[in-house]
Amino acid sequence: MKKFFLFLMLVTNSFFACTSIIISGKASADGRPIMWKHRDSDYEQNKLMYFQGPKYYFIGVVNSVDANGKEVWMGSNNTGFSIINTASYNLNDYSTCNAPSDQEGLLMKEALGRFSTVKEFEEFLLKEKGKWGVEANFGVIDAKGGAAYFEVDCKTVTKYDVNDPAVAPNGYLIRTNFSCSGKEKEGYGYFRYETATKIFDEAYKNKNLTVSFVLDVADRNLQHSALGNDLYKSDLPKDTTDKKFIHFRDYIVRNSSTSTMIIQGVKPEEDPAFTTLWTVLGWQLTTIVTPVWVAAGKDLPVVTVASGKETAPVNKKGLVLKEKCFPLDYDNGKDYLNVSAVLNKEGSGIVQTLLPKEKPIVEKAAGLIDGWRKNKFNKEEAKQFYNWLDEYVTEVYKDIYGI
């Protein structure tokens, strides 16, 4: 199966090309850990689901066609334990694994329902080694300050402790689609790794490792480390009618980008209920953020959920706008971005008109969190925020784009 996917990605450029980071509380601006996954997938339709696991309840991102939530691709539980992954393509030969292939989503769902700490997850991986068909970099944080990547295949488990200065001198680690413990110069995502390293190193020097930085600068980044360019600073088209196409590969944001979760953890002395899931359920340049909290319960914002195999409303709206950015539907047209739909000198590009509308969402959610930290988590206030969020997101897309 894995070899088949490797063949497909060479033909279609449609493999699981995620970009991620774990920032420890020692490095973040406010002393709280941050974990980011910019997800790439063949499944453009994503939504949130709320689960009751064997021990803990949790929220996860699922493929919309997965009606029963069999697999979870990033999420957090009520203890503050959170998990992400990026596929790896340079660990041991996948064909030697006796377990069924591509079980990463199953494993992450299992972990969210059963574990509360990084230590418990590590013990599980070591005990279950060889029983799961995975080849991935799993990122985990907990409410006790734990933060680590585990590079895992069916034979090996290699831990990279983000709190260990010898492993992470600046208090953060980045992973794309190769493992540091794997075969050198094999795998994928080296250009994205270089881009992410550059921007996060600069943010670290400026003491700006924040959720806002990850959301605004990293997740919507349009720099290319090999080409040395930045589309935000390029010679932009005049307006949306002035079509300008560029070959759009190996940026952090890609045609295959599907969703994002930025998990803001807590300090060891804080209530895990404050753990915040800053979620972007669609193509990152056309979809605005929808923050949620596991502690708020099963009634998630309407714009983030859907029944059966349907997709979330915010995802659906983001995909409508994405089509304007990739209008070439023949040959390898999906590799070519219409820059004018995204950015232009007139200021009418989707990034220029939509993403500023995130500011009220971020400010309102941050205000709630600050208040809860001074008192306690307020489930009713979270529900009121969800109601406001549903109305606001719906109005933004309707007022600006008529969708």
Cα–Cα dist 178/245, whole Å: 29
pLDDT in tens, 85-115: 999 999 976 666 778 889 999 999 999 999 9
Q: How far apart, in Å, are the Cα atoms of 44 and each of 33, 47, 146, 157, 281?
A: 28, 10, 32, 30, 9
Strand residues in 333-376 grouped as ranges (E): 336-338
H, E, C per residue of 44-80 = CCEEEEEEECCCCEEEEEEECCCCCCCCCCCEEECCC
What pLDDT is recorded for position 16?
Answer: 63
pLDDT in tens, 75-84: 999 999 999 9
Cα–Cα dist 26/20, whole Å: 18
Q: Which two tokens stand for residue 139?
A: 């990122």
What pLDDT is recorded for position 346?
Answer: 98
Q: How far apart, in Å, are the Cα atoms of 347 and each of 48, 240, 376?
A: 32, 9, 42
What pLDDT is recorded for position 95?
Answer: 65
What pLDDT is recorded for position 248?
Answer: 97
Count of CB atoms situated within 10 Å of the CB of 57 = 17
What pLDDT is recorded for position 10?
Answer: 37
DSSP 162: T
Q: What's the pTM value of the predicted model, to 2 decimals?
A: 0.95
Q: Are 377 and 293 in contact (CB under 8 A)?
A: yes
Number of residues that make up the chain: 403
Domains and their CATH numbers in the chain: 15-401 (3.60.60.10)
Give the chain's residues under pLDDT 70.
1-16, 93-96
What pLDDT is recorded for position 4?
Answer: 39
